[in-house]
């Protein structure tokens, strides 16, 4: 790996409200190669904002600052909005949490897929249709013809999420940011969707940022995990060594989950220390 795909250094996201400034992300730094990186944390830890700021999708009154934020050597901070749009979607894509709210409810799936293609290059109508069908097959939709004609409400959650993934993969991006891509799905469907993502990442050599609250899932799916608390990375750890986590927050998150085959009358709960907000990365 000569040059990292993504470099983020000292990222801050602040929200200016009439009464005070809320710091959602406070000094996050990481680099990403062509690998699967998990970002884990509880609600409000800043994990989603970290993912969104890479795509410059944080809206005012939110303010993003960083010492450096570069994608494939391109400085994302100084890029014009027009150049940013060329990268957004075509080289960096994002899969959102809930297909119910992220697909256009009054547009059939087919036109939604080809619209993405038209924006990024295009081709003839026939070519685009063939590519859309191929994408739906790539995410293992068995009857792509029917799905092309369907409206989002006619699809199950799992199907909808596959369509979303297909749509994000149309322009063949180098980096995919998936924000809780499977949290709205049933457990068994969740694994099927992850399998598809995993195969695509492996076969296309993409980088993947997987944002999730589910520590155990991330540990089994990703190569490396960043654990966030109160807008900071409190621990970075190889996913297969999660059980050796050193930070009390990470340990607490693992311990408080009920496990099959264990008989604990009382689950340990997290005792949050004020110092976790300020201590440097362990």
Partner 1 sequence: MKLAVEDLNVTFGSGQDRVDAVKDVSFGVEANTSFGLVGESGSGKSTVLRAICGLAPVASGRIAIDGRPVAGFRDPAFVKQVQMVFQDPYGSLHPRHSVDRTLSEPLAIHRMDDRHARVERALIDDVGLDASFRYRYPHQLSGGQRQRVAIARALILEPEILLLDEPTSALDASVQAEVLNLLMRLRREHELTFVMVSHDLAVINHMCERLMVMQHGETVEELNRAALADHAVGQDYTRSLLKASEGFQR
Instruction: Tell me the sheet residues that pair with 14.
Output: 23, 63
Q: Does the footprint of partner 1 cover residue 22 (CB under 8 A)?
A: no
Nearer to partner 1, 64 or 230 (CB): 230
Residues 275, 267, 245: CA angle, nearest 5 degrees: 50
How would you class 219 by CB atoms within 10 Å of its CB: exposed for 0-12, middle for 13-18, buried for 19 or more?
A: buried
Please choose, out of 6-14, 86-94, 164-172, 267-275, the segment that lies near partner 1 by the rule CB under 8 A.
267-275
CB of 142 to partner 1, least distance (A): 19
Q: Does the footprint of partner 1 cover residue 19 (CB under 8 A)?
A: no
CB of 261 to partner 1, least distance (A): 4
Please choose, out of 64-72, 92-100, 128-136, 265-273, the segment that lies near partner 1 by the rule CB under 8 A.
265-273
Asked whether the beta carbons of 213 and 40 are under 8 A apart, the reply is yes
Residue 267 Rama label (left phi>0; alpha psi -120 to 50; beta): beta
Structure letter (DSSP) for residue 5 = S
Q: How far is CA 216 from CA 84, 113, 261, 266, in A?
A: 34, 33, 16, 20
Give the whole-angstrom CA distance, residue 168 versus residue 163. 9
Among 85, 268, 277, 279, binds partner 1 (CB under 8 A): 268
**Within the chain, where are the H helices?**
47-54, 81-87, 99-102, 109-119, 125-138, 144-149, 157-169, 187-204, 215-221, 248-255
Q: Does the footprint of partner 1 cover residue 17 (CB under 8 A)?
A: no
Q: Give the count of residues interacting with partner 1 (CB under 8 A).
A: 36
Q: Does the footprint of partner 1 cover residue 204 (CB under 8 A)?
A: no
Nearer to partner 1, 2 or 188 (CB): 188
Please choose, out of 77-85, 146-154, 169-177, 215-223, the segment that lies near partner 1 by the rule CB under 8 A.
215-223
SS3 state of residue 151: coil
Please choose, out of 20-28, 95-103, 133-141, 264-272, the segment that lies near partner 1 by the rule CB under 8 A.
264-272
Among 19, 258, 275, 280, binds partner 1 (CB under 8 A): 258
Give the whole-angstrom CA distance, residue 123 versus residue 131. 10
Asked whether the beta carbons of 55 and 94 are under 8 A apart, the reply is yes
Q: Does the footprint of partner 1 cover residue 9 (CB under 8 A)?
A: no
Asked whether the beta carbons of 206 and 174 are under 8 A apart, the reply is yes
Q: Does the footprint of partner 1 cover residue 277 (CB under 8 A)?
A: no
Site for partner 1 in 180-199 (CB under 8 A): 186-191, 194-195, 198
Nearer to partner 1, 118 or 259 (CB): 259
Q: Does the footprint of partner 1 cover residue 266 (CB under 8 A)?
A: yes
Which residue ranges make up the site for partner 1 (CB under 8 A)? 42-43, 157, 186-191, 194-195, 198, 213, 215-217, 219-221, 252-253, 256-270
């Amino acid at each position: 790996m000569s040059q990292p795909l993504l470099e983020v250094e000292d990222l801050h996201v602040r929200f200016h409200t009439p009464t005070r400034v809320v710091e959602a992300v406070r000094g996050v730094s990481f680099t990403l190669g062509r690998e699967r990186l998990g970002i884990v944390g509880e609600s409000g830890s800043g994990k989603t904002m970290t993912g969104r700021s890479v795509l410059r999708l944080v809206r005012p009154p939110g303010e993003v600052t960083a010492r450096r934020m570069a994608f494939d050597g391109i400085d994302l901070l100084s890029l014009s909005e027009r150049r940013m749009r060329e990268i957004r979607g075509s080289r960096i894509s994002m899969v959102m949490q809930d297909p119910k709210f992220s697909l256009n409810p009054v547009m059939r799936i087919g036109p939604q897929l080809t619209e993405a293609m038209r924006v990024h290059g295009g081709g003839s109508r026939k070519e685009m249709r063939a590519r859309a069908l191929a994408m739906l097959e790539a995410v293992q939709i068995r009857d792509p013809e029917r799905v092309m004609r369907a409206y989002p409400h006619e699809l199950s959650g799992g199907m909808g999420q596959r369509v979303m993934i297909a749509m994000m993969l149309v322009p063949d991006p180098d980096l995919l940011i998936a924000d809780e891509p499977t949290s709205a799905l049933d457990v068994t469907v969740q694994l099927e969707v992850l399998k598809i993502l995993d195969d695509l990442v492996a076969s296309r050599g993409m980088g993947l940022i997987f944002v999730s609250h589910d520590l155990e899932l991330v540990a089994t799916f990703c190569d490396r995990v960043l654990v966030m608390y109160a807008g900071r990375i409190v621990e970075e750890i190889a996913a297969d060594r999660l059980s050796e986590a050193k930070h009390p927050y990470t340990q607490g998150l693992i311990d408080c989950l009920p496990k099959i085959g264990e008989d604990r009358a009382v689950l340990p709960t997290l005792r949050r220390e004020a110092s976790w907000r300020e201590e440097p990365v362990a």
